[in-house]
Amino acid sequence: MATTDDIREQIIAAAKERFGHYGYPKTTISELAEDCAMSAGNIYRFFAGKIDIASEIARREGLEAIRQVENLLQCPYRTSRQRLEEMIYSDLRYTYHLLENRPKVLELAQIVIHERPNFQVERLRREHKAISRILQDGAKTGEFEMPNVARVASAIQSATIKYRFAQLITDQPLEDLERELAEVLTLLVRGIIAKSAVPSFPPTTIPEITPVDTADVSVG
């Protein structure tokens, strides 16, 4: 017998398929119910409305993106600066490719961010924690200097927000975004690099990061 979680997952899977193929506006609760072989009333037992299903899908996509970049924290042979820069670049590339050439996915993201702007709260909290950990490691090794790790982590998040799901903000190609991000990171890191390292401080270079396949985690 299907559990509550099983039914909820069934609805989400059906919605991802419908939203990805037909688009969010053209999908109805009745169609989702038909796909799940249940009544529309049963859908409402699990979700208050269609936007709540879309918000849950978007929330999961955001968490998957941060899980990908959190893996970079496990690289023991990288400096703190390298891990920080690779984390932000990885996030840019992962989220960019998630929306690239997928108009229905971009449409869904635009609707959710307008209707449910808080869907990224959990993702941003985890991202802040990851950035803080890198900064703390850098402070311990003498690579970074800063008065308050949490505030600096928040500043870095704010300064680089454009480079997460970038197509929601700009139509710049990925190559331009990467070059622009290199300049932003150079400025940010220069502000926290230990004084002893300033004379030899090199600008940020675009890192080589193994691309992540987004096919299994995206809508459509």
- DSSP annotation of 14: H
The pLDDT tens digits for 142-155 are 999 999 999 999 99
pLDDT beneath 50, residues of the chain: 217-218, 220
Q: pTM of the predicted model, to two decimals?
A: 0.82
Q: What is the pLDDT of residue 213?
A: 56
Nearest to 93 by CA among 201, 4, 173, 193: 173
Q: What is the pLDDT of residue 197?
A: 58
Domains and CATH numbers, the chain: 1-47 (1.10.10.60), 58-200 (1.10.357.10)
The pLDDT tens digits for 162-212 are 999 999 999 999 999 999 999 999 999 999 988 765 555 677 777 776 555
Q: What is the pLDDT of residue 161?
A: 93
Tally Cβ neighbours within 10 Å of residue 196. Answer: 10
Q: What is the pLDDT of residue 171?
A: 94
Q: What is the pLDDT of residue 78?
A: 83
Where b means 16+ CB within 10 Å and e means fewer, 57-85 reads bbbebbebbbebbbebbeeeebebbebbb
